[in-house]
A and B are shown apart, each in its own frame.
Chain A
Amino acid sequence: MNSTNYDSCPECDLLLRSAHPKIGEKAHCPRCGFLLSRPRKQSVERTFALSIAGFILFFPANLLPMVGITILGNANTGILMSGVIALFNEGMVAVAIVVFLASILFPLVHISLSLLISGHLYFNRPNRYLVGWMRWMHHLDEWVMLEVYMLGIIVACVKLMAIAPLKFGWGLYAFIALIIITTMLTSGLDTELFWQRIEQLGKENNLAH
């Protein structure tokens, strides 16, 4: 219900006339420089396509071995979950839970939500949970830490290379692809457009009944 023709900057609260930048243009707040909006080409379609790809890639990235190491004849491979379990077994329960949430559960929920939302918008199917999903996705955004995990892998590998030879598995390549896709997902998502489409769908649904 953006009945007003005004908008306000979320970080400095400057009252602004609603900017409608064209695709490829950006609107910045003139007072604090905050990026107000950056419309993307075919945001719904692209989000839908990328979420499908991400959802599929999530499974090889989590189930196939990522890094293998051989120390004094003992071979060992690691996946995302085995790190969580190793921490858990050592009694570092809190850390294990944090790693599990930030690297497995939240990414999965985030991708599933974006798949559900963009799927409903793509096929113009109203759903009363759309608003809730959208809010959840907004709050989860910051806690999906796949790219930070990738840096963790790099540093760990550099440390381990000094001890023993490493082998990289298909899980790692799937994981890198998953990071590229989630990054494209978050940067290509046009939040304002999504909210407008959800509102529109809700209204159409109310008129039909």
Chain B
Amino acid sequence: MHTKANALAQGFIRCHDCGCLLKTVDHPSACPRCDSQLHPRRPHSLQRTTAFLFSSFFLYIPANIFPIMTVNQFGAGDPHTIAGGIIELIDSGMIPIGLLVLVASILVPSSKLIGITLLLLCAHFRWQINARRWTVMYRVIAFVGRWSMLDIFMISILVDLVNSGSVQIIAGPAATAFAAVVILTMFAAENFDPRLLWDNQKNL
């Protein structure tokens, strides 16, 4: 199934940690340079990615419908969801910052979930695709993931600073769910092996 130009098809394994290339005929089990376990591809790549992806899909629902923070002003609580906070920013005229939060906490997580799903389907059903373009998509997904933590850090600052007797900001249950979504999608991206996309191409 492996295409000829691939290193694995020609008898080489690459170490995940230090990038050292080894011959498979020697049957090495650990990398001689950095002592990490050798695997031709990431172990159980598709299964692990699917597991992380499903968990983040389920957590994505509470992350969006529950309030991520509540502003208590003189005893009256005002809960905000992720989308509500963005609408408020844009309404008060802070459009660039509103757009930044929109990208980081709505567009990035949702497109990440869809993107990883597509990558998984593609690797599982051996779709014949433009592998270069799909690898670039994987690279973008892996790069942007961490930026969604922006919302979580912002809440930790707000909760800490706005804490006087009359005005108070309290983090909501969506914060935990959202942090979990970001971390789980990062794990999913880390466990996906883009080389599987190339292994399945017949006409390379």
Q: Identify the A interface with B (CB < 8 A).
A: 1-2, 4, 6-15, 31-34, 67, 69, 71-72, 74, 76, 78, 82-87, 90, 92, 94-96, 98-99, 102-103, 131, 134-135, 138-139, 142-143, 145, 148-149, 151-156, 158-160, 162-163, 191-192, 195, 198-199
Contact = CB atoms under 8 A, between A and B. Distances in A.
Nearest to A82: B160
B17 A151 contact: no
Contact of B5 (A15, A71, A94): A15
Contact of A156 (B33, B138, B154, B165): B154
A86 B175 CA distance: 14
Contacts of B198: 12-14, 31-32
Contacts of B139: 11, 34
Interface string B1-37: 0000111101010100111111100000000111110
Contacts of A199: 33
Contact of A76 (B17, B19, B147, B164): B164
Interface string B147-164: 101111111111111111
Nearest to A36: B19
A2 B156 contact: no
A204 to B, nearest CB: 15
Contacts, number: 205
Nearest to A12: B198
B159 A83 contact: yes
B162 A151 contact: no
Contact of B100 (A99, A155, A162): A155
A10 B190 CA distance: 13
B137 to A, nearest CB: 11
Given A12-B195, A33-B132, A86 B176 contact: no
B102 to A, nearest CB: 11
For the complex of A and B, the 3 pairs showing the least CB-CB separation, nearest first, are: A152-B153, A8-B7, A74-B164
B131 A32 contact: yes
A160 B6 CA distance: 54
Interface in B151-204: 151-167, 170-171, 175-176, 179-180, 183, 186, 190, 194-195, 197-199
A174 B33 CA distance: 38
B113 to A, nearest CB: 18
Contacts of B136: 32-33
Contacts of B190: 142
A86 B33 contact: no
A31 B35 CA distance: 29
Given A103-B153, A142-B186, A134 B146 contact: no
Contact of A71 (B149, B152, B164): B164
